[in-house]
Amino acid sequence: MSMRQLISGDTLAVGDEAECDVSVVCPFYNEEAILRSVVRDFLDRLKRHITGSWELIIVNDGSSDNSLAIAQEIAHDEPNLRVLTYRRNRGRGHALRVGISQARGEIIVTTEIDLSWGDDIVERLLAAIDESPDVDIVVASPHLKGGGYRNVPRKRVFYSTFGNWIIRACMSNVATMNTGMTRAYRRDAIRALPCEENGKEFHLEAILKARALNYRFREIPALLEWKEHKFAGQAGGRPAQPQVRKSKSSTNKLIFSHTLFSLFANPIRYIWGMSAASFLIALVFIAYAVVRFATGQVSVFMVIIGLALGIISLMLFAFGVVFQQGNMVQKQLWRLQRDLATGPPLSEGGKAFYFDVAERTAPAPEPRRKPVAVEGHG
């Protein structure tokens, strides 16, 4: 295993320019029970179905079990497998950002390490982005016709469906699936996004900032399946007892953080709506007050309520104007960050970031072959 196959450090440098066609990035955390089998299955799938140069990058998000040792062992025999690792668990967003920063492919695919979005999801994402040269990001969605859920608890399906509906209403409606990690990005597009989130909010942040920078999106239907890893004492270190892989996240915490992110990401989408609703209700109270006054009834209370709602409506509208100005400034800052990220190198070899162990003098891989041809999905 070369030094470039194992990169270790709490803060990693941005990788070199594109050197292969496809990079597949998969984070993992404490997956020793399934890691050996799912990584080998993933590698076999890529070997059989991806034509062109590719790499599989698995990112150890500070696992405390034996996952890293298993990953290193596999990498010794698999030159297309790269293992990135750091000591402390920092969250999926950090793991994805590290993997994306080190990816060497023209197209970068991020997905679950156990192919829970479908065995052929990488091929389908590559086919979709290859068919749409004007598209920057392809998102896999179970909410499209032809997609769905399998073996996922009904409560989680409800949370995902309703939560993504709320996110589309409050933040952005460019995708029906904002909270999933399974996507394909063009290298220059995702590397230019100034993303900072360390948790699963990274998925929302990438969508929000890509939309603000006028990136083009496409979605494809996908089946999300929570798999049961059943092995009856088979070889290769697999567990003898059936094991159901469970989510590592606290559902309630995730719902809370995603809700806050979507509410504060683009408040103009609902503040002006609240302003308009308050104004209409104020008009109703004023009209009712006029009717009561014309018929000799007491109307002063209706007038007071109507005026109060009118004032609230004006205040909400003013807040909306302020937020809109703030959004415009924020977008300009994101564009500036993007332009700085894609501008001339800040130092020899690329952007000047911290780096720990990786050796930059390893032999370069084979030249890239374009376009990427995707074989049959079967």
Collapse the DSSP code of 138 into the 3-class scheme (helix H, G, I; strand E, B; otherwise coil) and give the result.
strand
Average pLDDT, the chain: 80
Where is pLDDT greater, at 374 or 137? 137
CA 207 from chain center: how many Å?
7
- The C-alpha angle 82, 215, 264, rounded to 5 degrees, equals 95
Alpha carbons 109 and 125: distance in angstroms, whole number: 8
Bridge pairing between strands 137-141 and 105-110: unpaired
Give 212 or 365, the one with higher predicted confidence. 212
Comparing 17-21, 158-162, 268-272, the range with the smallest average pLDDT is: 268-272
Query: For residue 310, what pLDDT band results from cuts at 50, 70 and 90?
Result: very high
Q: How far is it, in rounded angstroms, from Cα 18 to Cα 191?
A: 11
What are 213-223's pLDDT values in tens digits?
A: 889 999 999 99
Please name every residue paired with 220 in a beta bridge, in sequence order, or none if there are none: 140
Q: Which two tokens stand for residue 185?
A: 């990005």
Single-letter amino acid code for the residue at 377: H
User: Cα separation of 228 and 242, whole Å?
Assistant: 7
Q: What percent of the chain has pLDDT over 90?
A: 52
> CA-CA-CA-CA torsion for 370, 93, 207, 83, nearest 10 degrees?
10
Q: Evaluate if residue 173 carries a pLDDT over 70.
A: yes
115 contact partners, CB below 8 Å, separation of at least 6: 38, 41, 42, 45, 121
Q: Which fold has domain 3-266+346-374?
A: Spore Coat Polysaccharide Biosynthesis Protein SpsA; Chain A (3.90.550)
The bridge status of strand 50-51 relative to strand 20-28 is: unpaired
How large is the angle between the packed helices 300-341 and 268-294, nearest 10 degrees? 170
What whole-number distance in Å separates Cα of residue 106 and Cα of residue 327? 31
- Tell me the DSSP string of 325-374: HHHHHHHHHHHHHHHHHTSS-SBTTBS-----S--TTSPP-PPP-SSPEE
Is residue 242 predicted with pLDDT exceeding 90?
Answer: no
DSSP secondary structure letters along 100-131? HHH--EEEEEE--TT-TT-TTHHHHHHHHHHH
pLDDT over 90 at 2, yes or no: no
225 confidence band (pLDDT: 50, 70, 90): very high
Residue 87 scores a pLDDT above 60: yes
Q: What is the reported pLDDT for 344?
A: 41
Residues in the chain: 378
